[in-house]
Structure 1
């Protein structure tokens, strides 16, 4: 890869890591914080759904903005808003406060992740796109590994208000890197003339978006309900953080091997991910202790580590550069749809029946990815 292309990408990876550490800790440990404030399964679902609904709406808005305005300066503005939002969690005093703040976190998360993925795809030479996307995914998953683990330790030792202040400071570090390393160079925002929101860029991408939908429902429940459920089972915040860290670490191994999975075959790899995910959720249904959760969460992490970069790479390769914001915005919006529906329905099912019933249903949903992957089209040249 040319040296002039590597430098802005390295700055991007650093900012993605720092901000993802902040967002990852806040998102994954929020159900634990909510449980300490008296939240029920239904409240877990409402909090998660509000955040995902805001995320879903803002991904489309962000995508349209990125195809019309300077992408790096938008990235800077969105990161500033992210730091401010995480800092506001320090003043939360009840479940109602968390609902509002989770909505704000959904807004800034959507802005950040759509912009970051678009910038990486835009800055990468076509021949190195798969590698660049893999490193981008490693950057944010590294943050999601460090965030919950360190966040669990910090919240145990200092409390949640101190944790949110530290997380906001990390995201502020990302803001400094963007301002110092990306804005002066004008890269990677320079590029083709912007054309605005271009729906024609979505042709041929519908199968990829459909594959994301069942996974996003499952992911929404994993993020919004499972940590709180583990807390109700008597598992401490630090151990919950460690389990989430382990899951994301295994997920990162999948990201690291994305080129091998693409060579093995996209459909075959997605079939493997579907089966692993179904088996993992079946095991979660009967997990009651820390040791029970280890193997199924590792399997779930690996399945997501296979699916996420494969679908993202397919979308990036089949999208023209001028419409990358639109394509990536819709990609993240589909995640928002599933993560909006999943927590509220999942919370209601867990409350009305029992958590085991919820995860048995999710195991069946995971297997739906297998037939959906049959419609995935091969990657086209990046225009």
Structure 2
């Protein structure tokens, strides 16, 4: 139980830092560095690209090395990347520094997942992953309020520096987790490969499709959506408040996750449908209130996606192989995270900023319908 609490504390602190700076990075790229939507998408892609590859190795590391040290290294690298971002003068520089942040996240997030999995029983795993998610979401919810306050007095660069200072506090619980992070077993596993990913995708196609849709849309919401709101004349402070509403929606949904998890695929269909509606609203309307409605719906859906898919993926997996198993799905998630911002950035410049959101609405409706039909057949 102590390990779970320490992971939650670490997640809450890191969540505050992410909530402070994440909604502003696309705006910083567009306003401060002169990026167009394609370049904003490239900055987002650079942030998520490491997640396509790092979990191959991180998953195996987590089965063999102390998870507390891996977690601490992720926090430290994330802090360093934020300090460097505050000095960026061009889009390529921002891409490099966001790439470092992506590597850091690929260390931090799986380490948290595996620490929870190896320090809890299968029966309580959903409960504890929901607590971890609540801590992360609670931090991410508070972060935009802190970011809004900072932007009332300082510029984007100071915001990134203060986010790094906030992140530094997470090193304390990370190092305290070293005693809880020793490897469970010393079995030597084969390296994760694209063949492993292919096998998992074909063995659970519905879950994999939902995970990809979730990864793509969530990546877009963090990496491109704020720039889209900025073109609709939404102020920086209001964008931070809108992401606060996004956090509230995510946080308010978490108490119901335990009950939703037992419904498995039905819960995932509902999450996909909510995201599709949010995307449709984003395409059709561009006011503060319409963006708020869209982000609330998407916030609810993201709180459903993660714990439910986590439960399905880790069910009946031996403890000493959970790191490798999660590495496969984190890689799949990274593929979606990487592709989404790049595709949306290019299509926004080619067909207009609202166009990608209509596409996501149509794809989401089709995916939800396909899963329902497949379940009935």
Structure 1 and Structure 2 fold alike (TM over 0.5): yes
Report what 1:209 is aligned to.
208
Q: 1:76 aligns with which of 72, 77, 92?
A: 72
Change (3 A) 1:60 1:26: farther
Alignment of 1:223-302 (within 5 A): 223-263=222-262, 265-302=263-300
Whole-Å separation in 1 of the counterparts to 2:191 and 2:94: 35
Contact 2:74 2:106 survives alignment (8 Å): no
Q: 1:187 aligns with which of 180, 183, 187?
A: 180
* Structure 1 residue 173, shift from structure 2 partner: 0.9
The alignment status of 1:326 with 2:330, answered yes or no, reads no
Report what 2:30 is aligned to.
35
SS, match of residue 182 in structure 2: coil
**Tell me, which stretches of 5 or more residues in structure 1 are unaligned?**
1-5, 377-383
Contact 1:23 1:109 survives alignment (8 Å): no
Whole-Å separation in 1 of the counterparts to 2:124 and 2:323: 19
Deviations 1:174-219 (A, max 9, x none): 112222x323xx2143523343446579765554333201221112
Change (3 A) 1:195 1:245: farther
The alignment status of 1:48 with 2:44, answered yes or no, reads yes
Report what 2:20 is aligned to.
25
Contact 1:17 1:143 survives alignment (8 Å): yes
Report what 1:15 is aligned to.
10
Whole-Å separation in 2 of the counterparts to 1:373 and 1:75: 38
Report what 1:118 is aligned to.
114
Contact 2:229 2:239 survives alignment (8 Å): yes
SS, match of residue 195 in structure 1: coil
Contact 2:63 2:184 survives alignment (8 Å): no
Change (3 A) 1:56 1:373: farther
* Structure 1 residue 120, shift from structure 2 partner: 1.0
SS, match of residue 230 in structure 2: helix
Report what 1:3 is aligned to.
none
Alignment of 1:87-98 (within 5 A): 87-98=83-94
Whole-Å separation in 2 of the counterparts to 1:54 and 1:13: 24
* Structure 1 residue 367, shift from structure 2 partner: 2.4
Whole-Å separation in 1 of the counterparts to 2:280 and 2:24: 24
Whole-Å separation in 2 of the counterparts to 1:89 and 1:118: 29
Contact 2:57 2:191 survives alignment (8 Å): no
Report what 1:379 is aligned to.
none
Contact 1:197 1:326 survives alignment (8 Å): no
Deviations 1:255-289 (A, max 9, x none): 321111123x1122122222211111111102222
* Structure 1 residue 152, shift from structure 2 partner: 3.0
Whole-Å separation in 2 of the counterparts to 1:332 and 1:21: 22
Report what 1:139 is aligned to.
135
Report what 2:346 is aligned to.
348
Whole-Å separation in 2 of the counterparts to 1:205 and 1:14: 33
Whole-Å separation in 2 of the counterparts to 1:72 and 1:82: 15
Query: What is the CA RMSD across the aligned residues, in angstroms?
Result: 2.1
* Structure 1 residue 238, shift from structure 2 partner: 1.3
Change (3 A) 1:182 1:44: same
**Tell me, which stretches of 5 or more residues in structure 2 are unaligned?**
none
The alignment status of 1:169 with 2:168, answered yes or no, reads no
Whole-Å separation in 2 of the counterparts to 1:375 and 1:73: 43
Whole-Å separation in 2 of the counterparts to 1:146 and 1:240: 14
Count residues with an aligned counterpart: 367
Report what 1:336 is aligned to.
334
